[in-house]
């Protein structure tokens, strides 16, 4: 199954970043996927197949948005 991610999505990787973070934001799509560590703000590029093997969970961008102003 192909990995489906979009810019703005968050991914949780199986392996913890040395900084202690698990969650990354997708910043760039292409042959390599750009990822920003949400803990230490470090930026990395991973080939798509490699990312696909390492991803444990994809959090779509619309789910990431937590500041909904709909009440009232």
Q: Which residues of this chain interact with Zn ion, rule CB under 5 A?
A: 17, 19, 21, 37, 39-40, 42
The Cα 32–Cα 5 span in angstroms is 12
The minimum distance between CB 19 and Zn ion, in angstroms, equals: 3
- 12 versus 42: smaller Cβ distance to Zn ion: 42
Full strand arrangement of the beta sheet holding 32-37: 43-47, 32-37, 23-28, 10-13, 55-59
- 20 versus 72: smaller Cβ distance to Zn ion: 20
The minimum distance between CB 2 and Zn ion, in angstroms, equals: 26
């Amino acid at each position: 199954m192909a990995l489906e991610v979009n810019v703005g999505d968050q991914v949780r990787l199986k392996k913890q970043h040395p900084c202690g973070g698990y969650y990354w934001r997708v910043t760039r799509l292409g042959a390599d996927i750009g990822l920003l560590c949400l803990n230490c703000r470090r930026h990395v590029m991973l080939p798509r197949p490699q990312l696909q093997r390492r991803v444990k969970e994809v959090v779509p961008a619309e789910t990431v948005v937590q500041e909904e102003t709909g009440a009232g």
